[in-house]
């Protein structure tokens, strides 16, 4: 029997008895869809989980600053240092920060003391901060030295008596700043009591502010942290003196996050494996049922001269077509799932990775079909002719 005829007959049998096979097809399809989705979107999912850095213990943020540095050395980072750090593979963004504590501002006859941070426009992305109201200042406003301020929700409520403070003005060292936005309060911690101004504005106008000697560096995901952290001192050294430099990583939080995600991955992959195994058991079961229901057919074919290997090839081909068809359906479901997650995460993985996952899924389906269909096929090929013909 030609290969094309074998495939055609196998597909015809699947269509004829499709109600018998739908449960097995569904199990394999869901397992394949889960495999394709998790492998294709794995890195993007890690990026998405790493966005809310406060809730994850800031596991993907590395802090770089000078500590106990001699006074005759510059206490700030050079622009060339920032550019060099941005070029490290695995670094998503780098933010330069200057701080000043205990700023006093008058409002309605009272004086309020709070902390001001002068930050660049990358600070929001690095720390995963979003506005509750209004907007966050941009690089253009930072370059233009605009007098705008972003308030933490607690500070806005303390000074102005309301969280919705967008458009209000506050005084910082006798300069008026317009409140352009209020931060979302989820996971802010102490930052809820801070005010933020553009870095250039703070350096020009706020007396006593520290130089821009603190860097917040955010990695793409927590797997990159261990690769990036050892390179930072070497990269900084190529641009300026590193005496007193300190690189601070939240190793404990990082270990906890990776441990949690490892267990989540283990659960997901175990579920996928269990689904595929159940699908394989289902193939074996339905193929054994097919052999029993077609016993007379097998006997007649043998009586007419069909060889054992032809009978075996026919049932094995049916098992492989069953698993492969289910895998193709699962690949389509996986494609839909990847597109949906890409839209939600606003990040689309490369098509090459998706095609590799689909190919791996099909190969696993073929192997599953062979493994699950081998025993029923052997049973069919070894059937006695006389017993098969007389079977009722």
pLDDT tens-digit map of 98-111: 987 767 666 666 77
Of the chain, the end-to-end C-alpha distance in Å amounts to 28
Give residue 105's domain range: 61-249
Q: Are 276 and 328 part of one and the same domain? A: yes
Contact 218, 53 (CB under 8 A): yes
Q: Are 215 and 66 part of one and the same domain? A: yes
Contact 52, 349 (CB under 8 A): no
**Does 139 or 309 have the greater pLDDT score?**
139
For a pLDDT cut of 70, what percent of the chain falls above it? Answer: 86
Nearest to 357 by CA among 38, 36, 29, 33: 36
In sequence order, the 6+-apart residues with CB closer than 8 A to the CB of 100 are 115, 116, 117, 118, 202, 206, 208, 209, 210
Question: Coil, strand, or helix at residue 64?
Answer: strand
Q: Are 220 and 89 part of one and the same domain? A: yes
Q: Are 132 and 42 part of one and the same domain? A: no
Q: Residue 239 domain-assigned?
A: yes
Count of domains forming the chain = 2
Q: Are 209 and 288 part of one and the same domain? A: no
Tokens of 121: 């426009």
| Domain closes at, from 249, 279, 309 | 249
Does the pLDDT value for residue 386 go beyond 80?
A: no
pLDDT of 146 reads 93
**Stretch 107-134: mean pLDDT:** 85
What torsion do the CA atoms of 222, 224, 226, 228 make, to the nearest 10 degrees?
-130
pLDDT tens-digit map of 151-187: 999 888 888 888 888 888 888 888 889 999 999 876 6
Q: Residue 56 domain-assigned?
A: no
Q: Are 319 and 344 part of one and the same domain? A: yes
Q: Are 322 and 221 part of one and the same domain? A: no
pLDDT tens-digit map of 353-363: 778 888 888 88
pLDDT of 106 reads 64
Q: Are 238 and 297 part of one and the same domain? A: no
Q: Are 98 and 208 part of one and the same domain? A: yes
Contact 357, 36 (CB under 8 A): yes
| Domain closes at, from 249, 278, 303 | 249
Does the pLDDT value for residue 30 go beyond 60?
A: yes
> Which residue bears the tokens 């790493």?
50
For a pLDDT cut of 90, what percent of the chain falls above it? Answer: 18
Q: What is the pTM of this model?
A: 0.66
Q: Are 239 and 351 part of one and the same domain? A: no
Q: Are 168 and 262 part of one and the same domain? A: no
pLDDT of 181 reads 92
Q: Are 111 and 229 part of one and the same domain? A: yes
Q: State how far the Cα of 116 lies from the Cα of 202, in Å rounded to an integer.
A: 9
| Domain closes at, from 232, 249, 266 | 249
Does the pLDDT value for residue 55 go beyond 50?
A: no
């Amino acid at each position: 029997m030609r290969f094309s005829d074998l495939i055609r007959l196998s597909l015809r049998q699947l269509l004829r008895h499709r109600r018998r096979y739908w449960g097995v097809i569904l199990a394999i399809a869901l397992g394949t869809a889960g495999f394709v989705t998790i492998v294709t979107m794995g890195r993007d999912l890690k990026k998405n989980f790493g966005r809310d850095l406060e809730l994850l213990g800031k596991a993907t943020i590395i802090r770089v600053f000078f500590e106990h540095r001699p006074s005759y050395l510059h206490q700030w980072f050079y622009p060339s240092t920032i550019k060099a750090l941005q070029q490290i593979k695995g670094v998503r963004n780098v933010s330069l920060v200057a701080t000043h504590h205990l700023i006093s501002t008058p409002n309605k006859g009272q004086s309020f003391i709070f902390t001001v941070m002068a930050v660049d426009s990358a600070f929001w992305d690095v720390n995963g901060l979003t506005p509750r109201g209004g907007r966050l200042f941009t690089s253009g406003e930072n370059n233009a030295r605009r007098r705008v301020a972003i308030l933490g929700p607690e500070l806005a409520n303390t000074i102005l008596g309301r969280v919705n403070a967008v458009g209000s003005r506050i005084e910082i060292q006798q300069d008026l700043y317009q409140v352009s936005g209020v931060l979302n309060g989820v996971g802010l911690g102490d930052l809820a009591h801070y005010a933020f101004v553009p870095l250039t504005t703070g350096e020009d106008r706020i007396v006593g502010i520290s130089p821009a000697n603190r860097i917040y560096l955010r990695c793409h995901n927590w797997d990159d942290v261990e690769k990036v952290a050892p390179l930072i001192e070497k990269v900084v050294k190529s641009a300026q003196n590193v005496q007193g430099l300190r690189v601070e990583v939240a190793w404990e939080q990082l270990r906890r996050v990776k441990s949690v995600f490892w267990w989540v991955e283990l659960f997901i992959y175990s579920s996928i494996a269990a689904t595929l195994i159940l699908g394989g058991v289902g193939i074996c079961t339905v193929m054994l049922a097919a052999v029993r229901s077609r016993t007379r057919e097998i006997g007649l074919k043998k009586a007419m001269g069909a060889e054992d290997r032809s009978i075996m090839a026919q049932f094995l081909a049916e098992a492989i077509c069953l698993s492969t068809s289910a895998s193709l359906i699962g690949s389509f479901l996986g494609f839909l799932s990847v597109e949906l997650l890409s839209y939600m995460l606003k990040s689309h993985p490369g098509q090459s990775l998706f095609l590799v996952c689909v190919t791996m899924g099909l190969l696993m389906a073929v192997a599953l079909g062979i493994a699950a269909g081998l025993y029923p096929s052997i049973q069919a090929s070894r059937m006695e002719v006389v017993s098969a013909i007389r079977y009722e």
